[in-house]
């Protein structure tokens, strides 16, 4: 509803801002109203789905599973590709919320289940679950992995483990969960199989890049084309990471976003409570909070952290005990931030 209103009210596309993003959609013919749903990462995923990977291409930095879904479904070749990509992402998010609700309800009760769903709706960057980014696909796979662990049939968890490293860079970090369980001596045979599946997924990702570009690490090398030049080597520069944390520019910008830094501090504070629920949860949250924040110097952290499910379960548990006034304030604050980010995104301004 909010997106529809903003699409209707917002002025015509900002051609100058649109030209700052490559690849463009459509590739020829100039900007259209659908182009508003295909800038930033969404444009790269559509490009990969149509053309594949190639040597020395910035799009190599993006992971192959979401483009494969767009290609298999025929979305990337459609004249309405941005709309169908957004609808597919929304469907994956909606399915994830349903499954997550059922799972949390059984473990923590219905009030916590509803509160956790509300948390996902209130996350500042949750708008990116509903456009053609990869977050919804990653969330669906993470939900599949977590919910299948408590079922008799755990094959979906193994399949999800194979696919997660193909969806986002932090996909391989989720291998921390079975690693912790293996160390604790719990179902070691299954945890070993799960670790192998994560490894298979990561090797498959490297092999896809090698076959298309001649370089196993083309995806990592492509990071040089982007602001901050994300790199694992930044983990070895803690002083620089701290310096970048205190680089405040405005509420939300690529390099000095206060929103990203506030989300980082909040996420960091939730890691210990998550570990109290399950040790593996705390370990994986530490990985998917610290690694993206450090390697990207907090770039887009508010979006990257959306998929850290255990953190938001912790918030859901706490919100289930809060009073209605606090809930109303949280909803009002979130709608204001999300509306502002939607507006920026639709005008090709930085919102990610």
Chain centre distance of CA 293: 13
Residue with tokens 């080597």, as numbered in its chain: 233
Confidence of residue 312 (pLDDT cuts 50, 70, 90): very high
Residue-wise pLDDT for 107-147, tens only, equals 999 999 999 999 999 999 999 999 999 999 999 999 999 99
**Alpha-carbon gap, residue 270 to 315, rounded angstroms:** 8
Residue-wise pLDDT for 80-96, tens only, equals 999 999 999 999 999 99
Hey, is 250 helix, strand or coil? Answer: strand
Question: Mean pLDDT score of the chain, rounded to an integer?
Answer: 91
> Do 112 and 104 meet the contact criterion of CB atoms below 8 Å apart?
yes
**Alpha-carbon gap, residue 254 to 291, rounded angstroms:** 17
Residue with tokens 């408590």, as numbered in its chain: 150
Residue with tokens 């979130």, as numbered in its chain: 334
DSSP string, 218-253: HHHHGGGGSTT---GGGGG-HHHHHHHHT---BSS-
Tokens of 43: 């444009």
**Alpha-carbon gap, residue 49 to 319, rounded angstroms:** 40
**Alpha-carbon gap, residue 10 to 347, rounded angstroms:** 8
Residue-wise pLDDT for 18-29, tens only, equals 777 778 788 777
Pinpoint the alpha helices (H) of 109-217.
110-122, 135-148, 155-167, 176-183, 188-213
pLDDT at 215 over 90: yes
Tokens of 3: 């997106």
Please give the model's pTM, rounded to 2 decimal places.
Answer: 0.94
193 Cβ partners below 8 Å, 6+ apart?
158
pLDDT at 262 over 60: yes
Among 101, 126, 130, CA closest to 334: 126
């Amino acid at each position: 509803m909010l997106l529809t209103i903003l699409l209707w009210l917002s002025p015509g596309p900002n051609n100058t801002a649109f030209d700052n993003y490559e690849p463009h959609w459509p590739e020829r013919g100039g900007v259209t109203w659908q182009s508003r749903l295909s800038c930033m990462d969404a444009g790269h995923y559509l490009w990969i789905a149509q053309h594949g990977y190639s040597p020395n291409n910035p799009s190599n930095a993006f992971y192959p599973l979401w483009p494969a879904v767009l290609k298999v479904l025929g979305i990337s070749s459609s004249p309405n590709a941005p709309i169908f990509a957004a609808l597919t992402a929304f469907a994956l998010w909606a399915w994830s919320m349903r499954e997550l609700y059922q799972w949390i309800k059984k473990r923590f009760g219905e009030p916590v289940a509803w509160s956790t769903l509300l948390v996902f709706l209130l996350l500042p960057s949750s708008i990116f679950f509903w456009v053609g980014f990869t977050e919804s696909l990653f969330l669906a796979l993470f939900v599949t992995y977590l919910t299948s662990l408590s079922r008799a049939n755990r094959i979906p968890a193994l399949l999800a483990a194979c696919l997660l490293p193909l969806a986002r860079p932090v996909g391989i970090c989720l291998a921390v969960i079975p690693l912790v369980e293996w160390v604790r001596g719990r179902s070691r045979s299954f945890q070993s199989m799960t670790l192998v599946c994560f490894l298979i997924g990561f090797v498959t990702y490297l092999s896809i890049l090698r076959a298309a570009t001649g370089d196993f690490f083309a995806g990592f090398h492509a990071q040089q084309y982007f602001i901050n030049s994300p790199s694992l080597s930044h983990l070895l520069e803690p002083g620089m990471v701290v310096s970048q944390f205190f680089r405040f520019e405005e509420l939300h910008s690529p390099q000095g976003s206060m929103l990203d830094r506030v989300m980082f501090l909040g996420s960091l504070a939730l890691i210990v409570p998550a570990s109290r629920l399950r040790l593996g949860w705390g370990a994986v949250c530490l990985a998917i909070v610290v690694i993206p924040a450090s390697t990207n110097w907090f770039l887009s952290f508010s979006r990257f952290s959306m998929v850290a499910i255990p953190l938001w379960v912790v918030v859901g548990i706490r919100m289930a005990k809060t009073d209605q006034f606090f809930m109303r304030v949280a909803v009002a604050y979130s709608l204001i931030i999300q509306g502002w980010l939607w507006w920026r995104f639709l005008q090709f301004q930085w919102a990610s």
